[in-house]
Structure 1
Amino acid sequence: MEGSAFILVIFCGLFKYGSAIICYECNSATNPLCEEKVLPDSLKRNCSDLDRGVTHTLCRKIIQYVDYGINGQRPSSRVVRTCGWDETKYKGTCYHRSGYGGRQEVCTCTKDLCNDGHVTHVSTAILLTTISVFILK
């Protein structure tokens, strides 16, 4: 009986490890490779390795735009890719946020390495197609 309990514990541990999502993690402000369309393996992160007190369930890609110079900094943009968690209606979608002097596009996805260079381009293509359909009507 003890042997089967041990096997069950090992199996559960392997399942938990195997079910962890893998994402790219980087920030183009500190690593210019983060803006590339084809990302190097060195940016891959097993999200279960992160100790942030949550279970990571998705990958996130954020494109941030600062439209005005602030604190002596020029207008700029950056790309941030990270592990994330979100149990709201935004899980698996893209959305936009804006505020004084800046804006960002946030895309979340639930497959391994889905926050690569193509996530935003897919959402942009869908957005342009939708706009075209409404304009042509």
Structure 2
Amino acid sequence: MYCATIIKLKMANVHYLIAGSAIILLVLAQGGFAIKCYECNSHNDPRCAEKIPPGDLAKDCSDHKNGAKYSFCRKITQIIEFSVNGLPPDTRTIRSCGYEEGQYKNRCYQRSGFGGRQEVCACDTDTCNGAVTMKATFGVLLASLVVFIARA
């Protein structure tokens, strides 16, 4: 009788684990259909240069109607070091949806030229072109799942 009760409890834990995993997979898969990115330019809106931009600057990339398939977010930091063409030195942050993946997805690269330089970063989770990324949240979620399994 005691062993049967323990087996029933273990089976119930397995069912909870399966149901929880299915929910997590559905949530993660649903996010794969369209990506949401911050879209702004600090030249036009100084809030874009904040470490974490305000939520109203986040846009659903599928709202763009130009036919491109947006699959990642991009953040460009431009530094103009001295006056060029009558414009003063400046630093700008440009955040946008991206569709030409190339080799730099989930990576950053730097370019420089006469009078300035820029850093371009690309990432593939919602609003990852802000300071906080979904990868950290996913890591916490995964760690919680492992602890749940270990306790079962």
Pairing of 1:6-21 with structure 2 (within 5 A) = 19-21=33-35
CA contact (8 A) 1:63 1:77 kept: yes
CA contact (8 A) 1:61 1:80 kept: yes
Distance (whole Å) between structure 1 residues aligned to residue 126 and residue 31 of structure 2: 13
1:92 aligns with 2:118: no
Find the counterpart in structure 1 of residue 17 from structure 2: none
The structure-2 alpha-carbon separation of the partners of 1:91 and 1:69, relative to structure 1 and needing over 3 Å to count, comes to same
5+ residue gaps, structure 2, are: 1-28, 134-152
Find the counterpart in structure 1 of residue 77 from structure 2: 63
CA contact (8 A) 2:72 2:101 kept: no
TM-score (norm. length: structure 2): 0.64
Q: CA deviation at 1:108?
A: 0.2
1:93 counterpart letter in structure 2 = R
1:49 aligns with 2:73: no
5+ residue gaps, structure 1, are: 1-14, 120-137
Pairing of 1:29-40 with structure 2 (within 5 A) = 29-40=43-54
1:43 counterpart letter in structure 2 = L
Q: Give deviations 1:43-73, integer Å, cap 9, x for gaps.
A: 0100000123210010000000111201221
Distance (whole Å) between structure 2 residues aligned to residue 66 and residue 38 of structure 1: 22
Find the counterpart in structure 2 of residue 122 from structure 1: none
Q: CA deviation at 1:102?
A: 1.3
Distance (whole Å) between structure 2 residues aligned to residue 75 and residue 117 of structure 1: 24
The structure-2 alpha-carbon separation of the partners of 1:118 and 1:102, relative to structure 1 and needing over 3 Å to count, comes to farther
2:61 counterpart letter in structure 1 = C
2:60 counterpart letter in structure 1 = N
1:50 counterpart letter in structure 2 = H
TM-score (norm. length: structure 1): 0.70
- Greater than 4 Å deviation, 4+ residue runs: 15-18
Query: Over the residues paired in the alignment, what is the CA RMSD in angstroms?
Result: 2.0
The structure-2 alpha-carbon separation of the partners of 1:76 and 1:88, relative to structure 1 and needing over 3 Å to count, comes to same
Find the counterpart in structure 2 of residue 125 from structure 1: none
Aligned residues with identical type, % of pairs: 48
CA contact (8 A) 1:35 1:117 kept: no
- Secondary structure (helix, strand or coil) at the match of 2:76 reads strand
- Secondary structure (helix, strand or coil) at the match of 1:33 reads helix
Alignment match of 1:74 (pick from 88, 91, 111): 88
Find the counterpart in structure 1 of residue 24 from structure 2: none
Pairing of 1:125-136 with structure 2 (within 5 A) = none
**Aligned residues, how many?**
105
CA contact (8 A) 1:17 1:48 kept: no
- Secondary structure (helix, strand or coil) at the match of 1:94 reads strand
